[in-house]
Chain A
Amino acid sequence: MSGVPSCSTDDGNTVLNATPKRVYAKNCIRCKESKPIIVFRTTDTLCWPCYREVITKKFKNNISKSRSDKRELETFAVSLSGGPSSMVMLDLIDQCIGENVKRAKMFFKVHAIHIDQSVLRGLNGNSNSNDSEDNNTGLAIQKQLEEICSSYKVPLTIVPLENIYGDANETREQRRQQLVEVFEQMESNNTSKEDLLEHFRAQLVYETAHKLGLGRILNGSSSNRLAIRLLSSTSKGRGNSVPNETNLLDYHRTSTTVCHPMRDFLLKEIAIYHRYLGLQDLTVPSNPFHSINLNQSSHKASINTLCENFINTLQDISSQTIHTLLRSVDKLHSPVADESMFCSVCSCSLTKSEIETLKKSVGERINNSNSNNNTKCSTTTTNNQATSCCSTDSSKSCCSNDNNNNNNNNNNNNNNCCSDNSSTPLNLHTLCYSCRNILDKKSTTLTLPPYIKENSKTMVHSYQLRNEIKDFLLNDDDDEDDDN
């Protein structure tokens, strides 16, 4: 594996050259005086004050582009994991709006949101990491975040990950268990675990921002992370949403926009900045399933980890790799479907064909129930509790087992998805391809967070409503006739 992969274009021009060994200028190339601390963008040697100015300028530029209305005093939600990228982002925000800013002060406000995932500690399989120590780490991160936010005068909301199941006080223990069980049932499938965690975290940030009345979220993903996501999403069949997920602005559903103002910065650049801030490094890997596993050398790496290693190796060979990748994706746009429908789990846009399949499954159900003596939810639900809405093919339907068990012959009386029955299975057609892969076969045994079924039900229901009233609606042609 020591061979250097060479990447060339069709016409044989090598586009990625190995970074040559260089002799760098002794002094900072900007102020021509101080001792440099970093090689920035392959050639520029910069001292700390100059480096900080360069980064701040780029960051301000990205924030400007992220704002919807520059005349309004907008408040951004800031997603704060506690890792170097988000902490550096917080400092850069302070360089834009803080009390000490003298020149070109910007006018906007921020509210930090931290998702506390301490509930998942101890799930990474390292038996030597003992519980109390982990708990202390969790508390230490929270304490450090509280101190830092108050020193920047930024309000902070901490939300425990188990609140993906709701936030009632008395059910906290139960929620923690439910969440841990979901991840335990994913067994050794690390890709599924990591992806599900990512979706839950994102969902909680959206929910929290929404409750705070904030429509724009600043996310601290570095260019490394976005490039890795670009590659891993594509390998997982999420290519459709890649341009959205990795661009400066990611439109989430129709109500929220996620901005990536750190998208121009490499992890190396961020780590050096973080170091000069003099913050104590309390970072635990933001993903508990990702931490270095000492016990199992046969430990199966997730797709995400494989992509990370691949990108890191390429970046090591040529320091332009990551920027080249992200610049290419700038030119791409997610295909736009005629209608906006979003995955119930991860909120990415469903593709045209996924929407068609969903409509078909819901449509056939309506037709079936109409032809069968017009029974709606009320009378048939009890018989067919386990009837899946997700499959229209009765021979393959997951309800077949249950029907046999119950000696239930009402095979054609399909259950309506609008049923209030909470045990109605999740309609898998309301999920995107990769989330279907994660939950397929498991969706009936897992106690999934309620937001998933709610999204799914709302989606199916609104489609049904539209379908039921469509005969009463005037279409465009009729409209024109009337006007004439």
Chain B
Amino acid sequence: MIVNIELSGGLEILFSNKKNHQFELSGDSIPLKQLVYWMRDNHVKERPELFVENGTVRPGILVLINDTDWELEGGIDAIIEDGDTVSFISTLHGG
């Protein structure tokens, strides 16, 4: 499966300063929580605590799944499918 990832609001600096990523993963779907951990472990080189905190996306980072509020999809328990776009938007001033 292929997942599109968008990072903005300064968060891209944790991901080699690139805003758009396309990741290829095995299987047809993946729980968002697992995807977030995978991204942290494979693509965040420094200060991973600025992306993941207490088992979820750090407070102050908004998550949209296909341009929709992630709460509609179950928040961190959402299931991401092939072709989905997940956007992480930092509203944080500080880090």
Contact = CB atoms under 8 A, between A and B. Distances in A.
Nearest to B71: A39
A281 B59 CA distance: 20
Interface string B51-63: 0001100111010
A305 B46 contact: no
Given A36-B72, A294-B47, A309-B94, A285 B59 contact: no
Interface string B24-59: 000000000000000000000011001000110011
Given A2-B54, A281-B9, A292-B50, A37 B95 contact: no
Interface stretch (A151-159, A171-179, A264-272, A375-383): A264-272
B1 to A, nearest CB: 23
Contacts of B71: 22, 24, 39
Contacts of A287: 93-94
A291 interface: yes
B13 A292 contact: yes
Contacts of A235: none
Q: What is the interface of chain A mostly: helix, strand, loop, or mixed?
A: loop
**Which range holds the interface residue count of chain B?**
20 to 34
Contacts of A309: 59-60, 94
Contacts of A308: 60, 92-94
Interface string A276-293: 100001011111001111
Interface in A1-54: 1-2, 21-22, 24, 35-39, 45
A236 B59 CA distance: 24
Contacts of A35: 68
Given A271-B62, A281-B8, A315-B59, A294 B69 contact: no
Nearest to A1: B54
**Which range holds the interface residue count of chain A?**
35 or more
Contacts of B3: none
A224 interface: yes
A285 B95 CA distance: 11
Nearest to B17: A128
A302 B94 contact: yes
Given A36-B72, A271-B89, A304 B67 contact: no
A297 B14 CA distance: 13
A297 B58 CA distance: 17
Interface in B62-95: 62, 64, 67-69, 71-72, 74-75, 87, 89, 91-95
Contacts of A224: 91
Contacts of B74: 21
B69 to A, nearest CB: 4
A275 interface: yes
B64 A272 contact: yes
Interface string A252-273: 0000000000000001100110
Contact of B94 (A45, A301, A313): A301
A224 to B, nearest CB: 7
Contacts of A392: none
Nearest to A26: B72
B69 A267 contact: no
B47 A38 contact: no
A39 B72 contact: yes
A316 interface: yes
A444 interface: no
Contacts of A299: 95
Nearest to B56: A316
Contacts of B67: 37, 275-276
A315 B46 CA distance: 26
Contacts of B54: 1-2
A442 B56 CA distance: 43
B47 A304 contact: no
25 contacts: A21-B74, A24-B71, A35-B68, A36-B69, A37-B68, A38-B69, A38-B72, A39-B72, A45-B72, A126-B13, A271-B89, A271-B91, A275-B89, A284-B10, A285-B9, A287-B93, A291-B10, A291-B13, A294-B13, A297-B46, A308-B60, A309-B59, A312-B58, A313-B59, A316-B59
Interface of B: 8-11, 13-14, 17, 19, 46-47, 50, 54-55, 58-60, 62, 64, 67-69, 71-72, 74-75, 87, 89, 91-95
Given A291-B95, A312-B59, 19 more contacts: A21-B74, A22-B71, A35-B68, A37-B67, A39-B69, A39-B71, A39-B72, A271-B62, A286-B93, A287-B94, A291-B10, A294-B13, A294-B14, A302-B94, A304-B93, A308-B94, A309-B59, A312-B58, A312-B60
Interface of A: 1-2, 21-22, 24, 35-39, 45, 126, 128, 224, 267-268, 271-272, 275-276, 281, 283-287, 290-294, 297, 299, 301-302, 304-305, 308-309, 312-313, 315-316
Closest 3 CB pairs of A and B: A305-B94, A292-B95, A312-B59
